[in-house]
């Protein structure tokens, strides 16, 4: 039996994640997941790939907004309200996509510029913005937030346990930034699942997740080393890409909870 053991969201793309006991599934992923993003002065979206220090900024959800603070620098916490007053819009690229966003303003830009020592801007994806999953992997024009490409990433705890059995220093799941973690099953069980259901929501596995340098960034210190990519490349490399975890799209809405059972509907090849 497969059971949800973790639910994680990352409200501001590439900043610290938040672990939840339950979360609402919306039209573009988990509620609040990657709806905000930092953009540099050239208009490029920012992630820990280029700026590992982004790992040092924590995000918390409050009743009416996000509270953000830096774990090392002596900065006053920043509050980002859910209700946006600004109406200034912009278009930003995310890989091969472009996405319409709202600029949140100088107060927020200045805080992140000081926190990261990079001139940057905070943007938000409003509900009216429709960014679609790549049609090669979509079923019915599914939406995605400001995530790299897909609404969800799932990883089995057994997969991480298998990796850690090969490492001298064990790594936590937060290196891989999944939305859903499940217990039970064999290592890389997620590779073999094609369709499953949690509560009233149907999920479809569409593409294995190719891993980048972010996985080598310690989420507590922002220090970057060689692992786990070095070890994963020895046994999880396919077509020159290191794979760990599965990207998902979905149908329906509802709430998912830690402890919910995952009902397998179809395996790969059946």
Distance CA 12, CA 34 (A): 5
List pLDDT tens digits, range 48-69.
999 999 999 999 999 999 999 9
User: Angle at CA 120, nearest 5°, toward 119 and 121?
Assistant: 145
Residues 116, 233 within the same domain: no
In angstroms, the CA 51 to CA 177 distance is 16
What is the domain range of residue 97? 30-124
Among 124, 150, 181, the domain-final residue is 124
Q: Which helix (H) or strand (E) holds 203?
A: strand 201-210
At residue 56, the pLDDT reads 98
- Give CA separation, 177 vs 13, 34, 188, 249, in Å: 11, 12, 16, 17
Of 74, 95, 124, the position where a domain reaches its end is 124
CB half-sphere exposure, 125, CA atoms < 13 A: 29
Quote the distance between the C-alpha of residue 263 and its chain's center. 23
The last residue of one of the domains, among 89, 124, 159, is 124
Rounded CA-CA distance 176/137 in Å is 21
Instruction: Say whether 61 sits in a helix, a strand or coil.
Output: strand
Whether residues 149 and 249 share a domain: the answer is yes
Could you read off the pLDDT of 11-38 as tens digits, one per residue?
999 999 999 999 999 999 999 999 999 9
* pLDDT 10s digits, 119-128: 999 999 999 9
Question: Would residue 250 count as lying in a domain?
Answer: yes
Please indicate, yes or no, whether residues 166 and 111 belong to a single structural domain of this protein: no
| pTM, 2 dp | 0.97
Task: Give yes or no for residue 270 having a pLDDT over 90.
Answer: no
Quote the number of domains for the chain. Answer: 2
């Amino acid at each position: 039996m497969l059971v949800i053991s973790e639910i994680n969201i990352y409200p501001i793309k590439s900043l610290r994640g938040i672990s939840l006991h339950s979360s609402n599934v919306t039209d573009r992923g988990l509620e609040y997941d990657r709806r905000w993003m930092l953009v540099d002065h050239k208009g490029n979206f920012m992630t820990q790939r280029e700026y590992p220090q982004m790992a040092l900024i924590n995000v918390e959800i409050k009743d009416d907004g996000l509270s953000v603070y830096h774990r090392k620098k002596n900065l006053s916490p920043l509050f980002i309200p859910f209700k946006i007053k600004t109406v200034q819009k912009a278009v930003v690229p995310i890989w091969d996509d472009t996405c319409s966003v709202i600029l949140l303003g100088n107060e927020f830009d200045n805080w992140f510029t000081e926190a990261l020592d990079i001139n940057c801007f905070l943007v938000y994806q409003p509900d009216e913005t429709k960014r679609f999953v790549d049609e090669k992997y979509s079923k019915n024009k599914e939406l995605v937030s400001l995530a790299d490409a897909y609404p969800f990433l799932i990883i089995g705890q057994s997969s991480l346990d298998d990796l850690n059995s090969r490492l001298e220093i064990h790594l936590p799941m937060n290196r891989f930034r999944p939305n859903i973690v499940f217990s039970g099953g064999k290592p890389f069980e997620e590779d073999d699942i094609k369709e499953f259901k949690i509560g009233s929501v149907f999920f479809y596995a569409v593409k294995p997740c190719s891993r980048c340098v972010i996985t080598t960034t310690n989420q507590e210190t922002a220090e970057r080393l060689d692992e786990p990519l070095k070890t994963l490349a020895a046994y999880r490399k396919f077509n020159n890409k290191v794979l760990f975890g599965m990207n998902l799209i979905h149908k329906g809405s509802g709430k998912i909870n830690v402890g919910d059972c995952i009902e397998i509907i179809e395996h790969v090849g059946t």
